[in-house]
Amino acid sequence: MSSRPNLALIGATGAVGTVMRDIVSTREDIWGEIRLVASARSAGKVLRVRGEDVVVQALAPEVFDGIDVAIFDVPDEVSAEWVPIAAARGPVVIDKSGTFRMEPDVPLVVPEVNPLDARNRPRNIISTPNCTTLSMMAAMGALHAGFTLSELVVASYQAVSGAGVAGSARLYDEVEALAGDRSLGQVAGDVRGVLADKLPGESPFPAPIAFNVVPWAGSYKEGGWASEELKLRNESRKILGIPELKVSATCVRVPVITTHSLAVHARFEREITVADAHRVLEAAPSVVLMDDPAGGVFPTPLEVVGNDPTYVGRVRQAVDFPNTLDLFVCGDNLRKGAALNAAEIAELVASEK
C-alpha cells in the first residue's frame, strides 16, 4: 500500500452507505482517494465525503484498480458475484453481507474482540457480522475475556431501519396513516384493516409495525427459526472463538426507527458479580455503562441513536442461575451495527502497511 491507501465504498448511496460516508468524513483522515460506487442507476450522482463532492461510479471491475481497501454494503447476491471480482483485482475486501460470514477461510471480525483474525484472510476477504450480533458483541467480548462465556439467551428488539430504507419508510407511513384515531388498537384486526385501505402496497414486515411488535426478523429457516436468530447464534460462536457456545435467540421487530436493543441472559464458567461486570464494562473502550435503574438511568434507543458505542444497563445477578448475569444492551444498528465496524476493520488493514 502507499502511504495514503485508497478506499472504495460500494453501495455508497444506501442507508448504511450514507452513514459510512459520514463516518469516514469524521474519523481520522487516513485515506488517499475515496471512491464512491453504486449501481448503474445511481452512477453520476454527486455525493459529499470529507467535505468534497465526489461523483458516484457504476459498479464494474475497473473501479477496483488502484484501490487498497473496498467496503461492500450490498445485497447478498451482489456480494456473491462482485466480492470475488474485487478481491482478485487487489484490494482487501470488507463485506457486510451474509454471503461469506460463515465461510471457514473468511474471518468474521469485530475489532474490539478478535482484531488478529483480520490478518488471516486467504481469500483477501474479511466479513463483518450482522447488526444484531454487533449490537452486543463489544460488551459480551469484554465479559467473555474475563469470565469465559458458556451460554447466551437473547431477546432482540430490532429497529425497522434494519430492514433498510423501506423499513423506516413503512413505519413513518403507518404512523401517519393511523395518527389521530384513538379508537385503534383495541379490537383485533382494526389496525390491519385501516392500513390495508390506506397503504395497499406491500410492507417489508409480515404484520403492522406501528402500535405493534412483530416476533419475526429475516427469512424462514428449518425448525421455525428466523434467519436473524440463527445468525446471532452462529456469528457469536465464530467471533468469540467458542464453537460449542450454547445460544438461543428470539428476534423481534419493534416500532423504533434506529437502534437495536437486546435483553441478554449470559452464563459464564467463572463466578461473576455485578461489580465485576461494571468494572469490565467501564474499562471497555467502546462500551458506555448506564446502570442506575433506581435513578431511572438505563439505555434506550432514543438516547443511543447516532452514537458509536455499545450502551449497557440493567445489569443484574440472575436469581436462580449460577454465574449468570442479565443485562440490557443498545447499539445504533446503522453505525456500530453496520458502517462503523467495517470502517474500523478498514483502519486495521490500513495500519498493516
Do β-strands 260-268 and 324-331 pair in parallel, antiparallel, or remain unpaired? antiparallel
Same domain as 259, residue 148: yes
Same domain as 226, residue 285: yes
C-alpha 317/C-alpha 263 separation (Å) is 14
Same domain as 146, residue 61: no
CB 134 within 8 A of CB 127: no
C-alpha 160/C-alpha 173 separation (Å) is 12
Q: What pLDDT, on a 0 to 100 scale, did the predictor assign at position 353?
A: 66
Q: What pLDDT, on a 0 to 100 scale, did the predictor assign at position 105?
A: 97
CATH number at residue 38: 3.40.50.720
The model's pTM: 0.93
Which of 144, 260, 265, 278 is catalytic? The answer is 260
- pLDDT tens digit at each of 353 positions of the chain: 458 999 999 999 988 889 999 999 999 999 999 999 999 999 999 999 999 999 999 999 999 999 999 999 999 999 999 999 999 999 999 999 999 999 999 999 999 999 999 999 999 999 999 999 999 999 999 999 999 999 999 999 999 999 988 999 999 999 999 999 999 999 999 999 999 999 999 999 999 999 999 999 999 999 999 999 999 999 999 999 999 999 999 999 999 999 999 999 999 999 999 999 999 999 999 999 999 999 999 999 999 999 999 999 999 999 999 999 999 999 999 998 889 999 999 999 999 86
Same domain as 239, residue 321: yes
Same domain as 185, residue 117: no
Which of 131, 144, 251, 330 is catalytic? The answer is 131
HSE value, Cβ hemisphere, 13 Å, CA-based, for 185 = 13
Q: Which candidate, 100, 68, 21, places its Cα nearest to that of 343? A: 21
265 is catalytic: no
Q: What pLDDT, on a 0 to 100 scale, did the predictor assign at position 16?
A: 87
Q: What pLDDT, on a 0 to 100 scale, did the predictor assign at position 15?
A: 83
Q: What pLDDT, on a 0 to 100 scale, did the predictor assign at position 337?
A: 87
Do β-strands 324-331 and 310-317 pair in parallel, antiparallel, or remain unpaired? antiparallel
Same domain as 293, residue 147: yes
Same domain as 305, residue 252: yes
Domain span at residue 187 reads: 165-198
Domain count, the chain: 3
